[in-house]
Structure 1
Amino acid sequence: MPIEMNYRSTIKSHSFLFIEMKNLCRLRIQGFNDVELEEKILCDDLFQVVSESRRRELKSIILKRMHVLDFYLIKKLVISDLATGRLIALYALILTDRLFREFMVEVVADKLATRDDQLTNADFDHFFERKRQQSVRVNSWTDYTFYKLRQVMIRILLESGFLRVNKSTRHLIRPIIDPDVRTHLADLGQPEITTALVGD
């Protein structure tokens, strides 16, 4: 189940982090427990970042994402083809970030279902305006926060294989993934998220 109940704008400093997620999952399938993983991140600088505060920040967010995956998906993220691995990492991000999850379900899935593959700035504006009307917290964010959120969401979709840019036009696409992973995601019983990621 999704675990992030509150709206947060922290995704703008976390982004997709696929390589970091894959490195952590690789250690998990080798048998490392959470304490050992934390040591790898903080003491051995697994993610190769200079600042200790940034190491702690990444530790928190990537462990959180990994914890929403079952062992099957953790393993598949590491050993599958790139498109499948990236989609699993995107699934983990969706489960841990309410705003991005709702964007995928309310905007991306709807556009793909209606064969409208163009993702425009107006799509983001309309989505953010709905969230501002629904949430006092979101309504308190600055215009710059929304600008950064749009930038980061576009980058996440690009890095996950859900978006390609042709000149100045953004086109949504669904990556072709391992059919066993597609079935496993459907079996997890979260139809809105599954539809957003792999279709009906």
Structure 2
Amino acid sequence: MPKRYRFSFTAASLQVPLMIELAMKIIEQEITPDQLMPEDIGKERSKTNKRGLTEMKIRLNTLLREEIELLAYGDANEQRYISLIAFARSYLFFRDFVIEVIAEKIVVFDFYLTDMDYNAFFNRKALDHPEADDLTDSTKAKIKRVCFKVLEQGGLINNIKERKIIIPILSQRLSSLLENKRQDLELLLN
């Protein structure tokens, strides 16, 4: 049986500025992601705080100390790509979509992502993942919207309307950090 997909990412898209802020707090206060508090994300509603913080903790917990440092103090692209890596490590559905659909499109020099690409992927995955098949239509639509938004925020597509695939150019610092992490390099289409 394949590993269950988690779709809780619909609570918060990539949230790069928040990820940076939390990474800085982790480094400067010498704490772990699990020690972050709801007030650290600064939203008014406490229920929104808790759910958003839970997702941020899940993502930050996938990162090594050096990756958190790069997230906190790297350049804008490094921060974006580290946030994307944390997102993909946390949500297998998203990772599978990037690797199985987007990376494959690049191989055949097809640089545009379509609704049909996404729908075919989702339907194929739903056969092996009852948790995907059991979702309501509105939840499926939200998952799709958030996936495309994360791709845009992560710099893998130009925008959610045109969806032109962009192959990131990685800094030497990020390339060195990821040199032994083939899956992360694949995620960044490198």
TM above 0.5: yes
CA contact (8 A) 2:16 2:83 kept: yes
User: What TM-score comes out, normalization by structure 1 length?
Assistant: 0.86
Q: What's 1:197 paired with?
A: 188
| 1:75 partnered with 2:82 | no
CA contact (8 A) 1:131 1:138 kept: yes
- Deviation of residue 198 (structure 1)? 4.1
Deviation per CA, 1:100-130: give whole Å up to 9, x if none: 1111111111122322110100011001011
Q: What's 1:28 paired with?
A: 26
Go from structure 1 to structure 2 and tell me whether the alpha carbon gap of 1:124 and 1:74 turns closer, same or farther (over 3 Å shift): same
Aligned residues: 188
- Deviation of residue 36 (structure 1)? 8.7
Q: Let me know the Cα RMSD of the aligned residues.
A: 1.9
User: What TM-score comes out, normalization by structure 2 length?
Assistant: 0.90
Go from structure 1 to structure 2 and tell me whether the alpha carbon gap of 1:7 and 1:52 turns closer, same or farther (over 3 Å shift): same
- Gap runs ≥5 in structure 1: none
Aligned-partner Cα distance in 1 for 2:10–2:99: 19
| 1:52 partnered with 2:46 | yes
Residue correspondence of structure 1 range 8-157 to structure 2 within 5 A: 8-34=6-32, 37-38=35-36, 41-42=37-38, 45-157=39-151
Identity %: 23
Q: Where do 4+ consecutive residues of structure 1 move more than 3 Å?
A: 34-37
Aligned-partner Cα distance in 2 for 1:35–1:118: 36
- Gap runs ≥5 in structure 2: none
SS at match of 1:57: helix
